[in-house]
Chains A and B, each alone.
Chain A
Amino acid sequence: MKKLLILMFVAVIMPLTALGQTKQINEILDKYEKRKGVESIIISPSLLQIASTTDVDASTKDLLSKITEMRILNIKAGAVENGIPIRLSLRKELDGLIGTDMFKRIVMVKDGEETLEMYTTSTAQGVLLFFTTNPSEFSVISIFGNIDKTVVNAAMSGAIKVK
């Protein structure tokens, strides 16, 4: 009976811990999505497509089945709340999360005034995060789901597109 209760406890708790990082990102994005000067877009994988490239070693269908949702948050440079630019508040909160062991930076590309950063969770079940910064806006693009090597490769090959 004790073993059964422990199993039940694990069955309830394990999915919660696995979803922890996803939940934290979603909570941050939820917090900012309804503010002035902010644009939020949530897309289901059915509206995405994977362009075929030589670098992607999995079929489009397989890759899309691993993605559960995509969220985009654009914060205009002029969006300010209580005298503090929203982009700075958001970036601070995100830095607090990606600075932990749960996330790792995969790539950072700087091109003139534009910067692209790519982060992923340490566990496969998690999130792929892109931060793009330019003088006019700060954007967070998050791809949720089973973020394994094939999804990361597809993203790095520039193969994930909107239909």
Chain B
Amino acid sequence: MEKIDEVKALLERYFNAETTLQEEQQLRDYFRGEVKDEELLAYKPLFNCFSDEADKLKDEEQVDTSMQSTTFKRSFHFRWISVAAAAALALFTYLIMPERGDSLKMIIDGVNVYNKELAMSKADGQLSSINSMMGKFKNSTAQLEGMGKVGDALSPLRSMSKAMTQND
């Protein structure tokens, strides 16, 4: 009974804006519990509304924190997948096309020979041989082209011969 009177006194001071923060907290704590007095029951939604809002805000903050954590986890995973993919690509490229550092490398009978002039001379010999054969191929195609031109030049004669045969 004393408690109810105390609460009523506090309420009066509350509506007169005379309560301290501590006293307001006492009121909220009281109305959060079971209120039996009918007169005081009318004020319950007012104080519970504040506490409910505060609870909701707390819940939202928690959801925000967990969402941020999920987003962070996702971006963290994505970053590592990207790094792993780039590393795999670099590794495959290295395995398939190992850097052949040397601009010139020669092996004779299984032995590395470090003689640039000899290597260049041998390579030159090979390319000259190819170029010489290609030269012969070009000559042959030129001859074929020449034959084609002779054929074109003879075509009027063929037409004449055809016309004369028809006249006979």
B85: A residues at CB distance < 8 A: 8, 11-12
SS class of chain B's interface: helix, strand, loop or mixed? helix
Instruction: Flag if A36 contacts B129 (CB, 8 Å).
Output: no
Judge if A156 is at the interface, Cβ distance under 8 Å. Answer: yes
Closest-CB distance, B59 to chain A (whole angstroms): 29
- Bound complex: CA of A90 vs CA of B116, how far in Å? 26
- Looking at the complex, which one of B88, B103, B130, B137 makes contact with A43 (CB distance below 8 Å)? B103
Judge if B106 is at the interface, Cβ distance under 8 Å. Answer: yes
Judge if A69 is at the interface, Cβ distance under 8 Å. Answer: yes
Instruction: Flag if A139 contacts B127 (CB, 8 Å).
Output: no
Judge if A2 is at the interface, Cβ distance under 8 Å. Answer: no
- Looking at the complex, which one of B109, B110, B120, B133 makes contact with A109 (CB distance below 8 Å)? B133
Q: Which of the four size classes fits the interface of chain A?
A: 35 or more
Known pairs A11-B89, A162-B124; A40 contacts B134 (CB<8 A): no
Judge if B70 is at the interface, Cβ distance under 8 Å. Answer: no
- Bound complex: CA of A12 vs CA of B93, how far in Å? 9
Closest-CB distance, A149 to chain B (whole angstroms): 16
Instruction: Flag if A141 contacts B109 (CB, 8 Å).
Output: no
Known pairs A11-B85, A16-B92, A69-B100; A39 contacts B108 (CB<8 A): yes
Instruction: Flag if B130 contacts A41 (CB, 8 Å).
Output: no
**Interface residues as binary, A38-57 with B (CB distance below 8 Å gives 1, 0 otherwise):** 11111110110000000000
- Looking at the complex, which one of A11, A33, A111 makes contact with B133 (CB distance below 8 Å)? A111
- Looking at the complex, which one of A8, A41, A114 makes contact with B105 (CB distance below 8 Å)? A41
Interface residues of A (CB under 8 A from B): 5, 8, 11-12, 15-16, 19, 23, 33-44, 46-47, 69-70, 72, 74, 107, 109, 111, 114, 116, 130, 132, 139, 141, 155-163
Some 19 contacts from A to B, beta carbons below 8 A apart, are: A5-B81, A11-B85, A19-B96, A40-B108, A41-B106, A42-B100, A43-B123, A44-B103, A107-B137, A109-B134, A111-B133, A111-B136, A132-B129, A156-B138, A157-B134, A158-B130, A158-B138, A161-B124, A162-B120
